[in-house]
Amino acid sequence: MFDYQAPENLLKDRIILVTGAGDGIGKAAAISFAKHGATVILLGRTTKKLEEVYDQIEASSGPQPAIYPMNLEGASPKDYDDLASTIEKEFGRLDGLLHNASLLGNLSPLSQYDIETWYKVMQVNLNAPFLMTQALLPLLHKSSDASVVFTSSSVGRKGRAHWGAYAISKFATEGMMQTLADEEEGIGPVRVNTINPGATRTHMRAQAYPAENPEQLPAPEEIMNVYLYLLGSDSQKVTGQAFDAQ
Ligand SMILES: NC(=O)c1ccc[n+]([C@@H]2O[C@H](COP(=O)([O-])OP(=O)(O)OC[C@H]3O[C@@H](n4cnc5c(N)ncnc54)[C@H](OP(=O)(O)O)[C@@H]3O)[C@@H](O)[C@H]2O)c1
């Protein structure tokens, strides 16, 4: 596991948006950020799941989170502008943005890859983080220390047969991270990095590897060190880098 011990109040007074915050790694990240003092904006497509995360954070006396239901598959540029306006009105700035939501799509050779699935996966995994980052950059620039984290994958760093749009969207995500990091370096407070969570016990992993025993994998809560490191001020000036959570 990534070797970092987060101080208890690491994220005190920080405003952090997490996409796909209702389940899996995004849920664990949202709860962990709140536990370390952050006000978390829980964004996802299933309101009931977001409400459960909200309740868990409230029950553990974390700062009151906010819920922002949004389906990244159908969201338009105007939806991202509305998101930015709401955050501006409520908080005035954004200190952290964790792009975590993704779709796996189908595992099949490119020669037979379903075109509808290709568009859906690219929309959620690549276009949505681009549109959201573009809309939220002005709010990130209002922070004194802002961190953008994109979520990658092993198959986004080395190609693997049958991983199709998912793998290719993650390669593009690494490219988006490097491009944005280079643009932001030296001009302001925004650092930009990727995390590859590695094999983690979630629905997506079970969908990709149905025969695997999930109990042999770490739970999302066990891989949070690198997320905390990158969202907190200990990683100031760390930018343009590809991290592994495990
Ligand atoms: N788990 C692993 O082993 C592993 C390995 C490498 C990389 N990753 C990456 O880690 C990240 C988290 O994955 P996970 O394993 O935690 O997956 P997960 O359990 O399937 O959770 C994905 C989250 O994304 C949300 N989401 C999916 N489509 C969405 C949409 N159209 N609009 C809004 N939200 C949407 C889901 O919402 P619902 O709950 O409403 O469906 C869910 O909360 C992903 O970027 C994934 O590629 C995971």
pLDDT in tens, 198-228: 999 999 999 999 999 999 999 999 999 999 9
Atom of ligand 1 at shortest range from CA of 45: 33
pLDDT in tens, 95-150: 999 999 999 999 999 999 999 999 999 999 999 999 999 999 999 999 999 999 99
Residue-level pLDDT at 1? 86
How many Å lie between the centroid of ligand 1 and the Cα of residue 187?
32
Pocket of ligand 1 (CB under 6 A): 20, 22-26, 44-46, 49, 71-73, 100-103, 124, 151, 153, 197, 199-200, 202-205
**List of domains in the chain:** 15-244 (3.40.50.720)
Residue-level pLDDT at 111? 98
Query: What percent of the chain stands above pLDDT 70?
Result: 100
pLDDT for residue 8 is more than 90: yes
Q: What is the SS3 string spanning the chain?
A: CCCCCCCCCCCCCCEEEEECCCCHHHHHHHHHHHHCCCEEEEEECCHHHHHHHHHHHHHCCCCCCEEEECCCCCCCHHHHHHHHHHHHHHHCCCCEEEECCCCCCCCCCHHHCCHHHHHHHHHHHHHHHHHHHHHHHHHHCCCCCEEEEEECCHHHCCCCCCCHHHHHHHHHHHHHHHHHHHHHCCCCCEEEEEEECCCCCCHHHHHHCCCCCHHHCCCHHHHCHHHHHHHCHHHCCCCCCEEECC
Residue-level pLDDT at 166? 98
pLDDT for residue 188 is more than 90: no
Tell me which residue has its CA closest to atom 42 in ligand 1. 20
Atom of ligand 1 at shortest range from CA of 25: 16
Q: Compute the average pLDDT of residues 41-69.
A: 97
Query: What percent of the chain stands above pLDDT 90?
Result: 98
pLDDT for residue 153 is more than 90: yes
